[in-house]
Amino acid sequence: MQELSHFINGARVPGTSGRFADVFNPATGEVQARVPLAGRDEMDSAIAAAAEAQVKWGATNPQRRARVMMNVVALLNRDMDKLAEALSREHGKTLPDAKGDVQRGLEVIEFCIGAPHLLKGEYTDGAGPGIDMYSMRQALGVVAGITPFNFPAMIPLWKMGPALACGNAFILKPSERAPSVPLMLAEIFKEAGLPDGVLQVVNGDKDAVDSILENETVQAVGFVGSTPIAQYIYAKGCENGKRVQCFGGAKNHMIVMPDADMDQAANALVGAGYGAAGERCMAISVAVPVGEETADRLIEALVPRIEKLKVGPYTAGDDIDYGPVVTAAAKQNIHRLVQSGIDAGAELVVDGRDFSLQGYEDGFFVGPHLFDRVTPDMEIYRKEIFGPVLSTVRAGSYEEALGLAMDHEYGNGTAIFTRDGDAARDFASRINIGMVGINVPIPVPLAYHTFGGWKKSGFGDLNQHGPDSFRFYTRTKTVTARWPSGIKDGGEFNFKAMD
């Protein structure tokens, strides 16, 4: 069995704590590798080495740092297939989806090539008599990122790209469930010219995370994962005086208005609800048709599409719609929640409970489920299921549909499907959710905008990637300068003879 490592000071190094976690191939259910779980000593020494390496990297001019990012883009493109295969093997998502995972991270590295421009400060000429004022953005020093299993390439790249382009050293603590791609990314950055020690990948679990949160050298922590852990890290990081941004779970609603193009809405819902087995923080997990007739038409359009979904391993080819979920525990949790929906009286219109794939009986596959007549008090409505389970909540009016999404504790993404510009505009303006799609089911902003949810989906005041990421990974220093009058006053104009 393969034994994975950390990546410290420019090389793969074995773990020394003696603790490991199993890494599964979710399609077969087999343990394919084990990953070391760092202890405090390993984390502290990786951070100390990063602090030393950061001094020179932070003093490297931003254009040179940007050139490393240019090389990273080229190498990510070169290694796209290799990265996608490693990603699918540990995560289970299809190969085209795995390439999308790498691609959406790569685009943030492309954005980071603009570092010289993004790091330009502000200047006021003549703020007072003989006084100028200027602000500069400086690196924080050593910063850290703690990332989830579901985007093993994209989210680490969202964090390491801007942090490094700003001149910081970066400690990545990836998910212990999908650690191979982050290690490959570290090798790519090294090949691209990043000095050793500036990017350290330290694998681990809660111990490693707590070591980051308690280490005084670490200036900022960016987290993506489930909401309870986001809240824990936000509270603990802030208590220890760090700058912290934490992005959590989601329950994304898609409102379907009576005038929506029903084929378009149903196609969008199937892709956004079941793609990546529903293991996306921007997955649509709640469909909200407005009016009974809309609801009936929507269910009628959805059922045949869902029944046709092809579920299988990534190795079965590109026409697979989605793969297994990440672990046996995730599968059990989804089945438990489905049962709670049935017990609470929701109508299970498509039942995926008996799904089984010949030859892959031990894989963590979950068949697609569709619930109708879900109500807001049900556990399947309140909780993030993170699986291929779509719930339908019938709303009597637009206001009721809007209110449902507004009242939910999560606020990551949402969408409205309609032909009515006024309804769409009203929705985008009033909704208390961070990312909104209008006839777009998964409105993930592009690299040069920012990504972040509201309410219990996001903690902290700056979003990921885009201009916010350059603000998060730098601090502002403002200089007020006055120079005393120089030789232009009282200068000597006569040619003097030497005494």
Q: Does 457 bind ligand NAD (CB under 6 A)?
A: yes
Could you say whether residue 247 binds ligand NAD (CB under 6 A)? yes
Closer CB to ligand NAD, 36 or 148, in the complex: 148
* Residue nearer to ligand NAD on the CB measure, 414 or 457: 457
Q: Does 199 bind ligand NAD (CB under 6 A)?
A: no
Query: 275: which strand partners?
Result: none
DSSP 465: S
Smallest separation (angstroms) from ligand NAD to the CB of 441: 16
Between the alpha carbon of residue 253 and those of residues 106, 430, 438, the distances in Å are 28, 15, 12
Query: Using CB under 6 A, which of 205, 214, 420, 426 touches ligand NAD?
Result: 205
* The pair of three-digit structure tokens given for residue 284, joined into one six-digit string: 């649509």
Give the residue with the Cβ less far from ligand NAD, 298 or 385. 385
When asked if residue 225 is in the footprint of ligand NAD (CB under 6 A), the reply is yes
Shortest approach of ligand NAD to residue 108 CB, angstroms?
13
87 binds ligand NAD (CB under 6 A): no
CB nearer ligand NAD, residue 97 or residue 372: 97
Nearer to ligand NAD, 167 or 443 (CB): 443
C-alpha 390/C-alpha 483 separation (Å) is 66
Regarding 287 and contact with ligand NAD (CB under 6 A), the answer is: no
From 34-42, 73-81, 185-193, 220-228, give the range in contact with ligand NAD by CB under 6 A: 220-228
Tell me whether residue 384 or residue 468 sits nearer to ligand NAD (CB atom). 384
Q: Which residue among the candidates 112, 166, 246, 281 is catalytic per the annotation? A: 281
Q: What is the distance between the alpha carbons of residues 221 and 237, in angstroms, rounded to a whole number?
A: 7
Beta bridge partners of 454: 411
Residues 164-193 that bind ligand NAD (CB under 6 A): 173, 175-176
Smallest distance, Å, CB 208 to ligand NAD? 8
| Torsion angle of the four alpha carbons 183, 186, 191, 196, in this order, in degrees rounded to the nearest 10 | -120
- Which residues make Cβ contacts (< 8 Å) with residue 77, sequence separation at least 6? 106
Among 427, 438, 348, smallest CA distance to 391 is for: 348
| Binding test (CB under 6 A) with ligand NAD, winner from 69, 142, 229, 393 | 229
First to last CA, the chain: 89
Determine whether 112 is an active site residue.
no
Q: Which of residues 32-71 bind ligand NAD (CB under 6 A)?
A: none
214 binds ligand NAD (CB under 6 A): no
367, 352 contact by CB (below 8 A): yes
Question: Is residue 147 at the binding interface for ligand NAD, with CB under 6 A as the rule?
Answer: yes
Using the rule CB under 6 A, is 149 a contact of ligand NAD?
A: yes
Do residues 388 and 92 lie in contact, with contact meaning Cβ atoms separated by under 8 Å? no
Distance CA 156, CA 365 (A): 26
Question: 249 or 466, CB closer to ligand NAD?
Answer: 249
Query: Is 386 one of the binding residues for ligand NAD (CB under 6 A)?
Result: yes
b (16+ CB within 10 A) / e for 420-440: eeebbeebeeebebbbbbebe
Minimum CB–partner distance for residue 396 and ligand NAD (Å): 29
Per the DSSP assignment, residues forming a β-bridge with 200 are 171
Q: What are the φ and ψ backbone dihedral angles of 128, each rounded to 5 degrees?
A: -155, -175
**Helices and strands per DSSP (H, E), number in the chain:** 16, 23
Helix (H) or strand (E) holding 480: strand 474-482
Check binding of 237 to ligand NAD (CB under 6 A): no
Distance CA 32, CA 66 (A): 36
Q: Which residues of the chain form contacts with ligand NAD (CB under 6 A)?
A: 146-151, 173, 175-176, 205-206, 209, 224-226, 229, 232, 247-250, 281, 384, 386, 412, 453, 457
* Catalytic residue list: 281
